[in-house]
Structure 1
Amino acid sequence: MSVVIPVYQGERTLGSLVAELEPLTQARSTPGGRRMVVEEVLLVFDHGPDGSADVIRALAREHTFIRPIWLSRNFGQHPATLAGMASSGGEWIVTMDEDGQHDPAAIGGLLDTALDEQATVVYARPTNPAPHGALRNSASKTSKWFLAKALSGGESTKFQSYRLVLGEVGRSLAAYAGSEAYLDVALGWIAGEVVSSPVALRAEEGRPSGYRLRTLLSHFWRMVLSSGTKGLRLVSLIGVLFSFCGLVIVVYVLISYIFFDVGDEVRGWASTIVVLLFGFGAVLFSLGVIAEYVGVAVKTAMGKPPYLIVSDPAQGPLGRRE
C-alpha cells in the first residue's frame, strides 16, 4: 500500500499521524485475515502557511518509508492528492487528511471491503457526525445530495477524502485528469465498483480547518462543473420554464382584455418590472453558468497543469543563501 497525505497545515499533526502509520509498515493481517503492509507514505507539500516543510524533512530523515513530494506552489487538496497518486507505487493507494481525523487503524477494514466486494474504490463512511459543526455538515450533505439527484452525480453521496483506490486506477487518473476536474467525480469516470466502509471520524488535533466559506463554495462549484453538461441542461430547462410562464401571462392578459372590463387606466407597472428583473436575472445566471463551462474548456485547451512536482526547494538553488 501507498498512503498519500496532502499537507497544507500539518506542522502540529504530522508527527503523531506518522507515528500511527509506522506500525503498519510491518506486515500484518487485516480484520478479515488478509496480509497487508504500508510500503510508503507520500507527504505532498502544498505550500501551507506554517512550518510543515521542516516537519516533512525531519520525518524523511527519521523514517525510510517517508517520501516527500514537493509542489512548485499551492495547488489545493485535490491536485496535491493527484500528485501523490502519480508518484505512488503501491498496489493500493490510501488517501487521508493530515489533521488526525482519519484513523490509520481503519485501513485494513477498507482493504477487506475492497476485496470482499471486488471494488476498485472504497470510501470511508462516517459512523458519527464529522467534527465540523452542524452548519458545515448540513451544507456538505445538501451539496452531495444535489449533485447526486439534480446532476446525476452517481456516487457523490459517498465522497470522502479518506479513500482506498486501486493503484493502477489512481495513477491513470492522475495522468489524464484536467486542472478543473473534481477528483472524486473524475474517479467515477473510470472506477468499476464504488463502495463504502464504516469508519469512525476523530476530532481534528487542535488546529483550525484550512477550509473557509470561499474554499468550500469553490469545491462545490468544481463538483458541479466536473459532473458534465447536466448544468447546461438545467440552464435550458430554466429557459423553457420562463418561456412557458411568459406564455401563460400573455394568455391571461388577452383573456382579461377580451372577456373582462379592465378599464382604461394603466395597471401592472410594478408587476411588469418584477417580471423583467426576474427574467433578466435568470438570463444572466444562465450566461454565467455557460461562461464557467467555457472557462473550463479554455483552461483545458491551454494545457493548464493540475499540479507540478519539483525538487525540495531547500536542496536546490533556492536553498543556496550564501
Structure 2
Amino acid sequence: MGKYNNEKIDISVVVPVYGCPEAIPELVRRNTETLQNMGVGYEIILVDDRDGMGSWDAIKKEALADEHVKAISLTRNCGQDKAITAGVAAARGDWIVTMDCDLQDAPENIPMLYEKVRKQELDVLIVRRHDRKDSAIVQLLSKVFHKVFSYLSELDFDYELGTYLIASKRATDLYVHTKGQGRDFTMFLLWTGYKKGFVDLEHETRFAGKSSYTFGRKVEYALRAMTTFSNRVLYVPVYVGAISAIGSLIYIIFVLISWAMHVANPEGWNTLAAAVFFFGGLILSTLGVLGIYIGNIFDVAKERPLYIVQEKINIPEEK
C-alpha cells in the first residue's frame, strides 16, 4: 500500500509509537522540516506497537500523504525494543536515528548529531538527556537500576542515556541480525564496542501521552536486561551464600566459646526462624534467577519471530 520512493537514503529516522497519537502530526512535521533543510535523502519510519489508542490511524494518514513517511503496524504489542527492531530492519539509510514518539527528543537536533558523528568518525553517538522531565522517584529508580546494571553487565551505562541516538548502518545491521529476546537498542550498541560518543541535550516536556512503563513493567524490564546482557547475576547468590556461611561459622564459634565459658546464650525460636526465612528466601531467589536464564534460553530455542508485521505503507515487500 502507498508509494515506494527508491531514492538514496542518507538518514532514516525510526520512531516506535505507543500511546501518543496526538503527537504524530507534529512529530512528522518537525522531522520533515528538519531533514528537508539538511538537504539529505531521508525517510521517517513510524512503527505502531498496537497501543489500541488510535496511533495507527494517525500514522497511516501521514504515510499516505507523504511517501517519505514509512509506516509499519505490528500484529500485537511487542514492546519498544522490538518495535525499534522492526523499524531498523526496514531502514535503508546510511545512518539511523531513533527517538521516542512523545517529542521529548527534539528532531531539530538531528543536524548536529549527523555532523558530529561523521566529523568524529564515530559509529554511534548517543544523547544524554540533561534535566530529565521525570519525577524524582522515577529518576532515583533509574539511577539505582543503571548502577546495578553497569556492575553486572560490565558496561558503563549512564541513567541519562535513552533511545535518542544516531548510529551507522553496520552497527544497526548487527543489532537486527543478532538473536535473543533482550533487545535494548542503546545497551546493545554500547556492548558492540564500536567507536562511540555522547552529547548532552535538554530533555523536553512530553508533547502528548504518558509513559506506559508501570513499576511492575520496569522491574520486569530490569531483570530481563540484566540477565540478557550478563551472567554475573548468577554469581550474586554464590557471594551471598558464602557470606552467610562465614557468618554462620562465626556464630557457631561464638556459641561454643560462650558455652565453654558458661556464658548464657539467648534461647528460643527467633534465631532459628530468622535463619530459616533468610536461607529459604535465598534459595528461592537463586532458583528464580536460574529460571529467568532458562526462560531466556527457551525463548531463543523456540525460534519464534520477534514481531509480526500486520501492514506496511511505502515499504517494499521483502523478496
TM-score by length of 2: 0.88
Alignment of 1:118-267 (within 5 A): 118-128=121-131, 130-157=132-159, 159-262=161-264, 267=267
> Given that residues 179 and 300 in structure 2 are in contact (C-alpha distance below 8 angstroms), is that contact kept between their aligned partners in structure 1?
no
Contact 1:48 1:74 in 2 (8 A): yes
Cα-to-partner distance string for 1:171-193 (whole Å, 9 max, x where unaligned)? 22112241234333322332412
Q: 1:82-123 deviations in whole A, cap 9, x for unaligned?
A: 111111010110000111111001112222332343321211
- AA at the equivalent of 1:24: T
Say if 2:45 and 2:87, in contact at 8 Å, map to a contact too: yes
Quick one: which amino acid aligns to residue 47 of structure 1? R
Q: Given residue 53 of structure 1, which amino acid in structure 2 is its aligned partner?
A: W
Matched with 1:4 is 14
Give distance in 2, aligned partners of 1:206 and 1:11: 8
Q: 2: CA distance between counterparts of 1:305 and 1:158?
A: 31
Which 4+ residue blocks in structure 1 deviate beyond 4 angstroms? none
Structure 1: which amino acid aligns with 2:285? F
SS in structure 2 at match of 1:131: coil
Q: Within 1, Cα distance between the matches of 2:59 and 2:167?
A: 24
Q: Distance in 2 between matches of 1:104 and 1:181?
A: 24
Equivalences for residues 14-93 of structure 1 within 5 A? 14-26=24-36, 28=38, 37=40, 39-93=42-96
The residue that corresponds to 2:117 in the other structure is: 114
Runs of 5+ unmatched residues, structure 2: 1-10, 314-319
The amino acid of 1:80's aligned partner reads A
Question: Residues 193-220 of structure 1, C-alpha deviation per residue, up to 9 Å, x if partnerless?
Answer: 2321121111111422222222222221
Flag the structure with more relative contact order, 1 or 2, with Cα contacts below 8 A and sequence separation at least 6: 2
SS at match of 2:22: coil
CA shift for structure 1 position 27: 5.5
Indicate conservation of the 8 Å contact 2:117/2:125, yes or no: yes
CA distance in 2, matches of 1:191, 1:158: 19
| d(CA) in 2 for partners of 1:305, 1:281 | 36
Contact 1:69–1:84 under 8 Å retained in 2: yes
Which is further off, 104-113 or 58-67? 104-113
Say if 2:149 and 2:157, in contact at 8 Å, map to a contact too: no
3-state SS of paired residue (1:207): coil
Partners of 1:78 and 1:182 within 8 A in 2: yes
How many residue pairs match? The answer is: 303
Q: Contact (CA 8 Å) 1:120, 1:191: kept in 2 or not?
A: no
Q: Distance in 1 between matches of 2:257 and 2:229?
A: 44
Which range moved further: 189-198 or 232-241? 189-198
Relative distance call for 1:196 and 1:38 in structure 2 (3 A) is: farther
SS in 2 for 1:162: strand
